[in-house]
Copies of this chain bind each other. A is one copy, B any other.
Amino acid sequence: MVKLNPHFAKLSTYFLYPEIEKKVAQIKAKQPGKAMINLSLSDITKPLSPTLLAALCSASQEMGDRNTFRGYGPSQGYAFLREAISYGEYRHLGISSDEIFVSNGAKCDLSHIQEIFDIDNRVAICDPANPVYLDTTILAGRTHEANEQGEYGGVQTIPCLEENNFIPHPPSAPCDLIYLCSPNNPTGTAMDRRSMRQWVDYALDNQSVIIFDGAYEAYISSDDCPHSIYEIQGAKEVAIEVRSFSKTAGFTGLRCSYTVVPKELRANLNGSDVSLHSLWRRRHDTKFGGVPYPIQKCAAAFYSPEGNREVKEIIYMYQERARFLVEGLRKIGLTAYGGRDAPYIWCKAPCSMTSWQFFDDLLTRLQIISVPGPGFGRRGEGFVRLSAFAEPSQLAEGLLRLKNLFKI
């Protein structure tokens, strides 16, 4: 008799986005005349830039010609893209093109990477954080059941709170696998060099591995925030870095990301010293068939001078929107974090409201859609996440509605 994965039963059945959608639908039905302002977006709103589009279309065209079409590609990604990434992102950091694995989304890699590790590893996860870290840790069987507070035994929670400026600090207990995300979703905060240094030292001391989620790297504008964990000396011995073209080059609908596994990263396997790179390559070859050729050509166009200039303009536009929104919120008198090095703003619920109370207030009184903080973990309580992907007119209208409500 077949037996199902018992860890599925441990997953929270708390469905954040369906709950948000249900409430939004109710308000739309009740107040059909009022236009919604959607500040809950985690998706980009700008189309592909002209140079990237041209690369996508031209590579697509190649697929119809017997002299140029491509069948199976290398599972690790075409050399033209890996070399472009190696030069474009890491030329000063000494990451070679064969340490880069092209993949179909940061979400996939951030979860699949767990497969190269033993079940019996203690995982550290920030709270609040992208739910994918915890959910995939649960599904892999690395946690116990959740307790009444919704906390899972076997996982080390790293709190990111107002008190510590939302910067994660290494715990006193040793952990084996550590998920870090900077700039952070949802808090919009990026780690500075010093705090990243602390983590690399911690990992070196404890022989841990850091899984570094750098999906929002392109949004960093603070000088002291490293764009890559490999800017920290020693990180190549302890860190895997996952990056994405989704929020960088507008690929949310095209699915392309990459993962760096440095060859210096080694650990013990049955008494032998093994490179994690060889395990991940084997996993990639065994279970993954590569990213579509036209998508890889499109990603490579990001590293052309024209493509890079166009995309940086788009990122700059989103950055401007984030600054406009966070400064506007502060002027109104709200407490808001982030928005400087990330497209997200972590806005504190005023008057000791809970996240959901503030969410409901914003929705029913102002028709503004936000994301309640507990969707990212228990320590997201008291906050909502706002994002800067909406059009400037929407942001301005949202701020105006807020200003009228708060009457300042």
Contact = CB atoms under 8 A, between A and B. Distances in A.
A291 B132 contact: no
Nearest to A120: B3
A112 B53 CA distance: 32
A69 B48 contact: yes
A104 interface: yes
Contact of A71 (B11, B209, B252): B252
A73 B69 CA distance: 26
Stoichiometry (number of copies): 2
A72 B2 CA distance: 34
B135 A286 contact: yes
A299 B245 CA distance: 23
A387 to B, nearest CB: 12
A76 to B, nearest CB: 14
A44 B71 contact: yes
Given A2-B207, A282-B8, A69 B57 contact: no
A296 B107 CA distance: 20
Contact of A1 (B53, B115, B176, B293): B176
Contact of A57 (B57, B135, B176): B57
A69 B56 CA distance: 13
A64 B53 contact: yes
Given A253-B70, A292-B255, A286 B111 contact: yes
Given A66-B47, A69-B253, A117-B2, A286 B136 contact: yes
A396 interface: no
A149 interface: no
A176 B48 CA distance: 47
A27 interface: no
B43 A64 contact: no
A269 B4 CA distance: 6
30 contacts: A1-B174, A1-B206, A1-B267, A2-B208, A3-B118, A3-B120, A3-B268, A5-B279, A6-B118, A8-B282, A9-B270, A43-B71, A44-B71, A45-B71, A46-B66, A53-B60, A56-B294, A69-B253, A70-B253, A104-B255, A104-B289, A107-B289, A108-B287, A108-B289, A111-B286, A111-B287, A115-B139, A136-B287, A139-B283, A255-B291
